[in-house]
Amino acid sequence: MATIKDVAERAGVSIATVSYVLNNSAPISEETRQRVLKAVRELDYHPSIRGRNLQAGESRIIGYQWYVMPTGEINPLMDRFLYGVTSAADAHGYHVILFNVRPGDVTRAYEDLIRSGRVDGFVLANTDHEDERVRYLIDAGFPFVSFGRAHPDWDFAWVDVDGEAGIRQVMAHLLDNGHRRIAALGWPVRSLAGDSRMQGYFGMMREAGLEVLPAWVVRGIDQVKTGYHAAAGWTALPRAQRPSAIVAMSDNLATGVLNYCSASGIQVGRELAVVGFDDVPQAEYFSPPLSSVRQPVGEIGAVIFDMLLAQLSGAGGPGREPCARYQRLLQPRLVVRASSDFMHRDH
């Protein structure tokens, strides 16, 4: 491989002059510039990205914590999110590195990457209340943007989807279709996104003047089997208490409900309405096709990287501009399909 020294010798100039031409960092005569560029082409010279980054004091690498799904589970939403982030990073000359964390010592991996200078910033996801990663990075003063909030009093850059608004759309749809016995299937308490979605359910039930029976609310880990067991419990209730509609806070949970109904001969879309959240690509191919809340995943990745880039350049972020510029709540949209698109009438 040709070196910058080879280019300098071929062009009859100093190494510094070659560097000035390639980086456009000093005034050089047009004749000299063309001679250097001719030598670059003839020698097929490619500047060392690593060397350039070291000289600039940056790695051009963004860290992202990898999450392993339980066996048999998939999360296409987060796959699309990560694709959006990596695409936006690549468009600006950055790359994304995936890393794991040790159980019980979550922040150690972040500290090691910062101290070693291997990353310029982080993108976070799957945040919880008072997330220790967020708190650590705020205190460290290191650039990062989070897909999700963590604490209303913490000043940091985040992008999130308005889960409460999404579930309110679901509830309005079900109420308009005559449902009054509506059950909710959510994530464990202190899941920030899950709690936000649950607020939409409870708020709409309260505003409609409807009682929420304790048996109608089930919380569990975001797995298909959780939805399956919840549906089994609801169908065992006395007929007068049995839900006519189920709001699942994820498509994983909704899939479990659909599986139980299929195995039990319950006709979803005629006897029972089921709605999920995330609108995974396969939702429209379920039997029946699943109504679900669609998140603007493609937009999220681009917005997050734009926010991170502003921090890396020193142009914006916490402490530099209004919160509305680096804290964005995006709106989801309910997609109605056959699993809930029918009028319910109690007999």
pTM: 0.79
pLDDT value, residue 128 = 86
DSSP helix/strand/coil, 4: helix
pLDDT value, residue 193 = 86
Residue 105 has φ and ψ, to the nearest 5°, of -140, 60
Give which of 259, 297, 295, 277 is closest to 194, Cα–Cα: 277
pLDDT value, residue 57 = 53
**Region for 308 from its dihedrals, namely left if φ exceeds 0, alpha if ψ lies in -120 to 50, beta otherwise:** alpha
Rounded Cα distance between 60 and 81, Å, is 20
Residues of the chain with pLDDT below 50 are 54, 347
For helices 192-207 and 163-176, angle between their N-to-C axes, nearest 10 degrees: 30
pLDDT value, residue 54 = 47
pLDDT value, residue 92 = 85
pLDDT, one tens digit per residue, over 314-329 is 877 787 777 778 899 9
* Domains contained in the chain, CATH given: 4-47 (1.10.260.40), 61-156+297-330 (3.40.50.2300), 163-295 (3.40.50.2300)
Number of H helices, E strands in the chain: 13, 12
pLDDT value, residue 52 = 52
pLDDT value, residue 191 = 78
